[in-house]
DNA sequence: CAGTGGTCTAGACCACGGG
DNA sequence: CCGTGGTCTAGACCACTGG
């Protein structure tokens, strides 16, 4: 263990230690600065910084520089509220969500089945991107029947949280009924929405929320979540164990 | 979309298409061959092959070459059997597990608590590595009380599957009671066991199995699973939804 | 031994973002 | 405009694998 394969491995270790204590968004030395400091060429310095990015310790932005980044914990477990906004706020982050599209359309067959309504029922197709500390972190499509919140577009201009809108306007209590999650290299469609490069690891999460009172399906979502922005933790259990 | 940032992006697309149909383990062109074929230098060819590795389409082994690789699906859901071997065999893979350590020791406090026995109770600390198609895929520690299978070391020399041993020797019916899973850059400890490089994305899965009849805790595990070897899919749900 | 991937240097041009 | 990261070339040495 701890084999040295070259100078850059040592640089990675030194920089990773130094970064450990810094707040999120702090500027990190540029490739040229790292090269001068450790007496290596640009390629070695670049390899070291690239390794830090692969380990999700920094983000590198062309034209801007390299910055420390934190991963926010996002616990998904039965019985927990399905709200992205609230979950992240409780974790100390400042989530922002922007609406990219909010179209009233007939629900496609598979969505209608999941929402337990007749195919072709009017609904909303919502495409949104969520940011954490100004960085894109999640992107995806959400579907819901139109009769739940007929004035959804107007409501979204006032309140970002779909969970809150459903509670206060539709008078329902959304609960996580079903979720499927995995990690995939982001396809181009997703990396565009996430502002990352194709192939970067990302969570693909599909879920269905039901009304706590009555059990009516409320919301069907399929979202991509950047793995370098959110540490998704999934918990399956009978509740007896910590 | 589909912006061209350089020759290597095009090479990636071409090679990814060609690889898509090949069986797992097929040899892929070397860096030199790719460079000659596409008329680029070794750096560009290397970048393209590295990108394919990042996308989990190939494995690259120093001194050997580059080979296609498949990811095996591993569905984790409530009610599903917790057996690694059986789950993967059903997925069409040939799992092998080697025992790295099997020590009879007093169970440490946290494990004893999880297994609901008195601290210091005699138990087995099992360290194992699992392979899929001869490639290391999982590694980790498993704990169980010694009275369940007093002859565990001998039993493991005959039967690889801990699930089978528990069923046939201890007469219990292991069921997944609790699981926590996330994805982390593999720390050095884990990357050694997994035969990958530190920082490669890997699943960290902790779980507890209970006896289906009686509910006694049987097995507490903490395993690392290579994300490029296994496509872990987690499902939380009430069973009403597909 | 030859061939593979892993690392590095030196130098170049480009794309991007901010002043 | 300058500095940033992204890409590329040409060339070198090394570590590892198999025959």
Average pLDDT score over residue span A82-111? 88
Three-class DSSP labels, chain A: CCCCCCHHHHHHHHHHHHHHCCCCCCEECCHHHHHHHHCCCHHHHHHHHHHHHHCCCEEEECCCEEEECCCEEEEECCCCCCCHHHHHHHCCCCEEEEEEEEEEEECCHHHHHHHCCCCCCEEEEEEEEEEECCEEEEEEEEEEECCCCCCHHHHHHHCCCHHHHHHHCCCCCEEEEEEEEEEEECCHHHHHHHCCCCCCEEEEEEEEEEECCCCCEEEEEEEEEECCCEEEEEEEECCCCC
Cβ–Cβ gap B177/A240 under 8 Å: yes
A23 pLDDT exceeds 80?
yes
Q: Which two tokens stand for residue B62?
A: 């120093």
Q: How far is B160 from chain A (nearest CA, A)?
A: 26
In this prediction the pTM is 0.91
Is the distance between the Cβ of B2 and the closest atom of strand D smaller than 7 Å? no
Residue of A185, A231, A234 with shortest CB distance to B55: A185
Is the distance between the Cβ of A54 and the closest atom of strand D smaller than 7 Å? no
Q: Say what the pLDDT of residue A241 is.
A: 56
Cβ–Cβ gap B183/A201 under 8 Å: yes
Is the distance between the Cβ of A32 and the closest atom of strand C smaller than 7 Å? no
Q: Say what the pLDDT of residue B90 is.
A: 82
Average pLDDT score over residue span A156-168? 91
Q: Kindly give, in sequence order, each residue whose CB lies less than 8 Å from that of residue B90, ignoring residues fewer than 6 positions away.
A: none
Q: Say what the pLDDT of residue B207 is.
A: 94
Residue A130's pLDDT band (cuts 50, 70, 90): very high
Locate all alpha helices (DSSP H) within B108-151, ordered by sequence: 109-115
């Amino acid at each position: 263990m701890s084999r040295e394969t070259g100078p850059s491995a040592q640089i990675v270790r030194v920089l990773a230690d130094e970064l450990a204590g810094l707040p999120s968004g702090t500027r990190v030395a540029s490739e040229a600065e790292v090269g001068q400091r450790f007496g290596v060429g640009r390629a070695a310095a670049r390899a070291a910084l690239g390794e830090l990015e692969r380990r999700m310790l920094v983000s590198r932005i062309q034209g801007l520089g390299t910055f420390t980044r934190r991963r926010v914990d996002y616990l998904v477990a039965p019985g927990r509220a399905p709200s992205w906004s609230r979950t992240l706020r409780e974790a100390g982050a400042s989530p922002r969500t922007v609406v990219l599209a909010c179209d009233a359309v007939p629900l496609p067959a598979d969505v209608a089945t999941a929402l337990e309504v007749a195919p072709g029922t009017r609904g909303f197709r919502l495409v949104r991107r969520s940011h954490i500390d100004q960085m894109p972190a999640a992107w995806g499509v959400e579907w819901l029947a139109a009769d739940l919140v007929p004035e959804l577009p107007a409501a979204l201009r006032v309140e970002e949280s779909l969970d809150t809108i459903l509670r206060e306007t539709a008078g329902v209590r959304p609960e996580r009924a079903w979720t499927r999650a995995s990690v995939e290299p982001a396809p181009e469609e997703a990396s565009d929405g996430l502002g990352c490069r194709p192939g970067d690891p990302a969570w693909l999460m599909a879920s269905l929320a039901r009304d706590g009172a009555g059990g009516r399906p409320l919301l069907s979502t399929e979202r991509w979540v950047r793995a370098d922005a959110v540490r998704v933790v999934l918990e399956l259990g009978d509740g007896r164990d910590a």
